[in-house]
Structure 1
Amino acid sequence: MQQLEALTRDAVALANGALPLSANEAEAARQLQICNACRYCEGFCAVFPAMTRRLEFGRADVHYLANLCHNCGACLHACQYAPPHEFAVAFPQAMAKVRGETYQHYAWPAAFGALYRRNGLAVALALAAALALFLVLAMRMAGPAWTQPLAGNFYAIFPHAFLATLFGVVFLFAVLALALGARRFWREVSPARDLPPGQEPLLAAARAPAAAQAAHDVAALTYLEGGHGDGCTNEDDRYSLARRRLHHLTFYGFLLCFAATCVATLYHYVFGWEAPYALTSLPVVLGTVGGLGLLVGPAGLFWLGMRRHPLQGDAGQRPMDRAFIALLLLTSATGLALLVLRDTAAMGALLAVHLGVVMALFLTLPYGKFAHGVFRSAALWKYAIEKRLPGRLQLGAD
């Protein structure tokens, strides 16, 4: 009977447009109410001004604000209600726990998101190893060429059509899963959801300039300045820009590696210039610089993460976070090793390992930190739109 009553309450809530909160969401909403009354941290980042436009915090609001949070940690050390105070306001940790839930909540397929969240590191390493083994077996079946020095000619081992098809499928899956997750997130938190009547023209006019502002904030990692320009806090209340700089190395390192692949594709299909490319060629230079960024950035973030205050994160997300860092490090390390040893007999085995790791990275992108980057970009866009709309938002629209 109790289960039936609970299901009935949930059904009524869903019919009325209100979704029940999880334990982490309810705790985040409680802390948001306290912060909204205090407002000491209002100038720290985008979360607190966005929070003050609300008097109640439903599920969509909590998801939006959790992904708008950049976890700089400044509010934890400034808060007079932080533990051991009886209010126990640990705002960065509360936001981190909700963010972790959103990775799974918006994931497509949902089962993949749940599996990766629980066993991220094991799943990532097992997937990379399985894909690398598959490629090694494919090489052995193709003949003995992979054991000979081939002057960097990857296509002597794996035909171009085979690699293009294999990576095309993996890439399209990652794009589809990310797009569907982002669509679900945006539909839930969209500014149109809680827009007061009569402001539809203002919303339409705000979208384009707000998108430009959000793009700037994403590219510059604006809110990793800690709201005061001195950076994030780590194990104590000292400020440092190290976390922001390491995020930049990771972000732009990934983009440079992706750009290297795009340029190589352009060379092949448009100009008919086939790999291997010279060490001074644009694809190799972009990939090398990006690979170095993907070595230094993730390694530094892992080191800082180990030193951060425990209330600045969610310990339950460590396997998932470390899986992403491990795949980034393995991608860069195997890619750089492949570049250095591409003229040796080791190239074939290194190529299989590198391609397996890259495929594992892309297959897991929609279910962890990379997906959060997409959700955070959407949250920044919503925040930039809200700043251009007058007055408070409608309440209780969840």
Structure 2
Amino acid sequence: MSLDTTPILTATDEARRQLEICNACRYCEGYCAVFPATFAERAFSDGDITQLANLCHNCRGCYYACQYTEPHEFALNLPAALAEVRVESWDRFAWPGGLGRLFQTRGVALAGALILGIAALFWAMAALTPERGTGFYAHLSHTIMVAIFGPAFLLPILVIAMGLRGYWRETGGTRVTLSQLASALRDGASLRNLSGGAAHGCNYEKGDRYTLARKHAHQAVFWGFLLCFASTSAGTVLHYGFDLPAPYGAFSLPKLLGVPGGVLLTLGALGLAGLKLRADRSLGAASAWGGEMAFVLLLAATGASGLALFAATGTALVAPLLALHLGTVLTFFLTMPYSKMVHGAYRLAALVRDAQRKGA
């Protein structure tokens, strides 16, 4: 009886195999930033593979242009190979290890965290109801909110920062200049690489047809999230700087920022969910599909619950909707280092590292 001695390739080894073939072919040289960075190397260290994986935006244009995909014996599927490395890198750099893989590959785990987050807020509102207060503070005092959400926001940011430090060391990053950071921020904000080098879009959900739908949905989520964050920041400044606590009127700065932010966040996230349902799962990290979908729906729930809470102002629905909204926000914060949300931090780091390669 013969034994199969074919070595089992890790995700990094498989990505390296495919990139070496791409390096010899160079047909996709005009595509996204991954290919100029690939063609600048003669050999690929593990750190190089990690950098290229996080630089990839999974637009999939290279796959549909490639002559070496199955049934060719090379069986190239570079979007999927880099996606697997990307997911593994987020888990490897996260602390504590293992949680990243759990939330990225198990939508059930993220849903369970959401249920626990909402339940915790219902308990807090029932057990810690203030004796007096107006608006939201009639159900949960400002002090208690800060005590809950301050650590829930700051601790995940610290965990992400620790992960980025490990990423930067592995990929050989050096001291960052303002021009490199500015270049990365421009590319990140415009999602230039999401189009795969083609101004008319990527091939994410329509095979070999170009579309801008994913880029637009991402931009809606990105700007919606920033507006919601700006709304919260404006409320904080008004509360502590001008002694003007919530609730705020419909034409106040927190509402003028938060309402359109919530709309963009909700519509963008639902758009991404729809695109994921239509896209070919085999061209991404198939094992992470459930976790990614759960994260996108969590984004949509965060925006939608905030809008519903605003619409219910002055009614009996405020208490349950407040618990629902704060529960989704709490879940979002606590799972940031371990869910798909962390890709934004690593994508920016990859863009900065690429700017260093280009000498920006």
Q: Give the TM-score band, short-chain normalised.
A: over 0.9
Q: Select which of 162, 167, 171 maps to 2:153.
A: 171
Q: Select which of 21, 36, 41 maps to 2:28.
A: 41
- Equivalent residue number for residue 183 of structure 1: 165
The Cα offsets for residues 36-88 of structure 1, whole Å up to 9 and x where unpaired, read as 00000011010011011111112111100000011111101100101111100
Measured after TM superposition, the shift of residue 123 of structure 1 is 2.1
The amino acid that maps onto 1:210 is Q
Q: SS of the counterpart of 1:366?
A: coil
The Cα offsets for residues 181-233 of structure 1, whole Å up to 9 and x where unpaired, read as 111111111244xxxxxxxxxxx6x8332221111101111111220211111
Normalising by structure 2, report the TM-score. 0.93
For residues 240 and 42 of structure 2, the distance between their equivalents in structure 1, rounded to whole angstroms, comes to 56
Q: Select which of 51, 56, 62 maps to 2:43.
A: 56
- Equivalent residue number for residue 129 of structure 1: 115
* Long gaps (5+) in structure 1: 1-20, 193-203, 390-398
Q: Select which of 158, 177, 188 maps to 1:218.
A: 188
Q: Select which of 100, 113, 121 maps to 2:87.
A: 100
Given that residues 60 and 188 in structure 1 are in contact (C-alpha distance below 8 angstroms), is that contact kept between their aligned partners in structure 2?
yes
Q: Select which of 229, 252, 255 maps to 1:284.
A: 255
Higher relative contact order (CA 8 A, sep 6+): 1
For residues 106 and 325 of structure 1, the distance between their equivalents in structure 2, rounded to whole angstroms, comes to 22
Q: Select which of 305, 319, 339 maps to 1:368.
A: 339
Given that residues 265 and 303 in structure 2 are in contact (C-alpha distance below 8 angstroms), is that contact kept between their aligned partners in structure 1?
yes
Q: Identity of counterpart residues, as a percentage?
A: 43
The amino acid that maps onto 1:245 is H
**1:138 and 2:109 equivalent?**
no
Pair member with larger Rg: 1
- Equivalent residue number for residue 99 of structure 2: 112
Normalising by structure 1, report the TM-score. 0.85
The amino acid that maps onto 2:18 is Q
**1:207 and 2:177 equivalent?**
yes
| TM-aligned CA distance change 1:22 to 1:178, over 3 Å | farther
The amino acid that maps onto 2:120 is F
The amino acid that maps onto 1:129 is I
**1:229 and 2:199 equivalent?**
yes
Q: Select which of 136, 139, 142 maps to 1:160.
A: 142
Give the number of equivalent residue pairs. 352
Measured after TM superposition, the shift of residue 314 of structure 1 is 1.7
Given that residues 191 and 386 in structure 1 are in contact (C-alpha distance below 8 angstroms), is that contact kept between their aligned partners in structure 2?
no
The amino acid that maps onto 2:195 is E
| TM-aligned CA distance change 1:83 to 1:139, over 3 Å | same
Q: SS of the counterpart of 1:263?
A: helix
* Long gaps (5+) in structure 2: 1-7
Q: Select which of 374, 377, 390 maps to 2:348.
A: 377
- Equivalent residue number for residue 200 of structure 1: none
